Amino acid sequence: MTRNSDDRRFAELLHHRRDRLAQGDPITPPLVSAATYHLPRVDQGGFMYGRMSMPTWEEVEAQLAILEGGDCVSFPSGMAAISAALFASVSAGKRVVLPSDGYYTTRLFAEGFLRPFGVAVDYVATTAVEAADFTGAGVVYLETPSNPFLDVCDIAAVAARAHAAGAVVIVDNTTLTPVLQRPLELGADIVVAADTKAPGGHSDVLFGHVATRDAAVLQRVKDWRKLSGAVPGAFEAWLVHRGLETLEVRMERMCASAAVIAARLAAHGRVRGVRYPGLAGDAAHAVMLRQAGGFGFLIGMELESAEAAERFLAECPYLARSTSFGSTHSAGERRARWGDAVAEGFIRLSIGLEPVEALWAAMAGALER
């Protein structure tokens, strides 16, 4: 189902420790939570203090670097990665162009902590950003497909125009993960992502990362982590390392099931509308074919009202009624309850690992009731 599932990097990821192993070393990375390290001298490198670097971060960063095609810095959450990338890229007087329809908390962050420090914050819809005016922009920030409505933009086209205007391009790649989309290869300068979602994959860890090929940006993001103290815990890094080992096979199942479910929802009389980039008629389809290796596991479905949507979620035994997405279990949430600019009956579905016919039977039954 994913068009890049024979990519060698998914094999490399599983063997990335190979060349560093000595006789008797564990094959899996040890969980090292030490805050302090043997340090008779400070001029010989190595680990010193846990806020500066930690062995278990480096293991997960090595995996992420293989997937992203760039250097990676890990963070304790997606928002910690996003705020690090923004603080590393903006200063007073700069203009930041953010998606008006992306992850809500990113906008709250910009309003609460960028604008008060003299950063000009502008919002552009994801579908309008290809033609937007970037004059004076220091940062153009994209989220494609956007969460929750799954609108997309052409990353390479926007990056070319943003670079011509002198802006840095940051892409929040959470909804597809680097298994399906690699913005650095499409011309983005910085990738941010919530590994809380599919990469961790089991709803039991918060984590995030920044990826870049720019050495100066990398240094600034690392300095931000060290000086702000927004450091991930060793156990969380270890859990995400474990999650990343199965990410590609989980994505394969989740995307294959999402394609089946989306097509059946689109044909169902009780469903008013479906957003899934894999549907040939979806507005996102052509761009996704060009820049992503698959269409993801998120589906937007609209029922006639808030009541109908809540009833459907309550009646379906295989949809966890929770926020967030990308976990082993399918989940559904009516997004208007958070104030997202979507219809009252709009549900964001995250398709998980359940056998697809069992999942569909549960959903169809809930739609009929």
Ligand X SMILES: *Cc1c(COP(=O)(O)O)cnc(C)c1O
User: What x/- string results for residues 312 through 331 when contact with ligand X is judged by CB under 6 A?
Assistant: --------------------
Smaller CB separation from ligand X, 99 or 367? 99
Least CB distance to ligand X at residue 81 (A): 8
Looking at the Cβ atoms of 29 and 102, the one nearer to ligand X is: 102
**C-beta nearest to ligand X: residue:** 78
* CB-nearer residue toward ligand X: 63 or 83: 83
Region of 286 (left: φ > 0; alpha: ψ -120 to 50; beta: rest) is alpha
Nearest distance from C-beta of residue 183 to ligand X, angstroms: 13
Question: Is residue 261 a contact point for ligand X (CB under 6 A)?
Answer: no
Q: Are 71 and 212 in contact (CB under 8 A)?
A: yes
Residues 165-204: x/- map of binding to ligand X (CB under 6 A)? -------x-xx------------------x-xx-------
CA–centroid distance for 314 within its chain: 27
**Euclidean distance between CA atoms 333 and 310, whole angstroms:** 8
Q: Verify binding: residue 77, ligand X, rule CB under 6 A.
A: yes
> What is the size of the binding site for ligand X (CB under 6 A)?
14
Q: Is 213 helix (H, G, I), strand (E, B) or coil?
A: coil
For residues 141 and 175, give the distance between their C-alpha atoms in angstroms, rounded to a whole number: 15
Name the token pair of 51.
């806020």
Rounded to a whole number of angstroms, the minimum distance from the CB of residue 172 to ligand X is 5
* Candidate segments 24-32, 74-82, 183-191, 311-319, binder of ligand X by CB under 6 A: 74-82
Site for ligand X in 88-117 (CB under 6 A): 103
Inter-residue contact 265 to 299 (CB < 8 Å): yes
Query: Would you call the peptide bond into 145 cis, given omega within 30 degrees of 0 as the criterion?
Result: yes
173 in Cβ contact with 199 (< 8 Å): no
Minimum CB distance to ligand X smaller for 101 or for 189:
101
Minimum gap (Å) between residue 131 Cβ and ligand X: 23
Beta carbons within 8 Å of 124's beta carbon, 6+ residues apart? 97, 98, 99, 100, 132
Among 2, 63, 126, 147, indicate the residue that binds ligand X (CB under 6 A): 147
Residue 333 interacting with ligand X (CB under 6 A) = no
Q: Phi and psi of 281, rounded to 5°? A: -90, 0
Query: Binding residue for ligand X (CB under 6 A) from 143, 151, 236, 248?
Result: 143
Tell me, rounded to whole angstroms, the distance of Cα 2 from its chain centroid.
17
**Which helix (DSSP H) or strand (DSSP E) does residue 101 occupy?**
none
Options 129, 206, 230, 363; binder of ligand X; rule CB under 6 A: 206
Please tell me the chain's helix, strand, coil percentages from 3-state DSSP, rounded to the nearest 5.
Answer: 40, 15, 45
Per CB under 6 A, residues contacting ligand X are 77-79, 103, 143, 147, 172, 174-175, 194, 196-197, 206, 208
